[in-house]
Amino acid sequence: MTKRLPNIVDRIVVPLTLPLLITLLWEVVVRLGQIPPFILPSPIRVLPTMVEVFPDLLPHLRITLLEFAIGFSLALLLAIFIALLMDALPLAKKMVYPLLVVSQTVPIISVAPLFLIWFGYGILPKVLVVILVCFFPIGISLLEGLAAVDAELLKLLKAMGARRFQIYRLVKIPAALPALLAGLKISASYSIMGAIIGEWLGAMQGIGYYMNLAQHAFSVDRVLVAVLVITILSLAVFKIVCLLEKILMPWQTPEAWED
């Protein structure tokens, strides 16, 4: 018999222990070291700031979420389209694959300012950064998922006379779904950061813009509030993808069958 923790302890208390300890340590260090609040405010001082500035943050939050939503969706659609195309046409794979890798080696920090020059201070350049960041993990995962489908299974379907689109619909796409979601998880955790980087380099709205302002005002507590908000957003996006995984792939977590 293995000792099992109650569900709530297992799922909530255990994961929260370490962050709480770190916060506690932070509080202790600030107090014992008598660090002035403009260098590092203690967590107890950040929380009221959070409550105080939250109404001001909301419009920025909306913009960041909008950039994320548009960028992430477009990245997903584009990745699915390109991956399917590359899987179906070996020639397309040969032509596009190197370009994909190159797109990932370009440092975002160097192209994002160019987007500003070309597309101005609106949301478009941020959306582009999100796409650039998210597209690659999704596309590559899906492509590998499609290529990894059991060759014998494909043979069997061909023997049954399945046409190409049937093979994709019935086998290849569902078989590649776990890989697609693995890619989605990676890009979900980057996506908000992409939007923030875009805003941080030049914007008139958004959490990244807010953070930039706070930084220039040496308002460390506000910077920390922005960091906290970004973290919560990223976690939320990640959790949504995990939830999506459960909904789309019920066979991954079936209840044990009773004999």
Give the list of residues 6+ apart from residue 235 with CB closer than 8 angstroms, or none: none
Q: Is 11 in the site for another protein (CB under 8 A)?
A: no
Among the listed ranges 9-17, 85-93, 150-158, 238-246, the one in contact with another protein (CB under 8 A) is 150-158
Among 1, 161, 216, 247, binds another protein (CB under 8 A): 161
Q: Is the Cβ of residue 58 or residue 170 nearer to another protein in the bound state?
A: 170
Q: Is the Cβ of residue 88 or residue 175 nearer to another protein in the bound state?
A: 175
Which alpha helices (DSSP H) does the chain contain, by range?
7-8, 14-32, 43-88, 90-105, 108-119, 124-147, 151-159, 164-167, 173-201, 207-216, 220-248
Q: Is 226 exposed, middle or buried (0-12, 13-18, 19+ CB in 10 A)?
A: buried
Among 62, 94, 158, 246, binds another protein (CB under 8 A): 158
Q: Where do the DSSP E strands lie in the chain?
A: none
Q: Is 165 in the site for another protein (CB under 8 A)?
A: no
Encoded amino acid at 76, one letter:
L
Among 44, 54, 150, 240, binds another protein (CB under 8 A): 150
Answer yes or no: are the C-beta atoms of 202 and 116 closer than 8 Å.
yes
Q: Is 246 in the site for another protein (CB under 8 A)?
A: no
Answer yes or no: are the C-beta atoms of 199 and 206 closer than 8 Å.
yes
Q: Is the Cβ of residue 32 or residue 151 nearer to another protein in the bound state?
A: 151
Nearest-angstrom CA–CA distance, 116 and 120: 5
Nearest-angstrom CA–CA distance, 23 and 3: 30
By CB under 8 A, the residues from 166 to 185 that bind another protein are: 166, 170-171, 174-175, 177
By CB under 8 A, the residues from 71 to 90 that bind another protein are: none
Among the listed ranges 31-39, 101-109, 134-142, 159-167, the one in contact with another protein (CB under 8 A) is 159-167
Q: How far is the CB of 256 from another protein (least distance, A)?
A: 8
Residue 244, both tokens = 């999506």
Positions in the binding site for another protein (CB under 8 A): 150, 152-153, 155-162, 166, 170-171, 174-175, 177, 249, 251, 254, 256-257
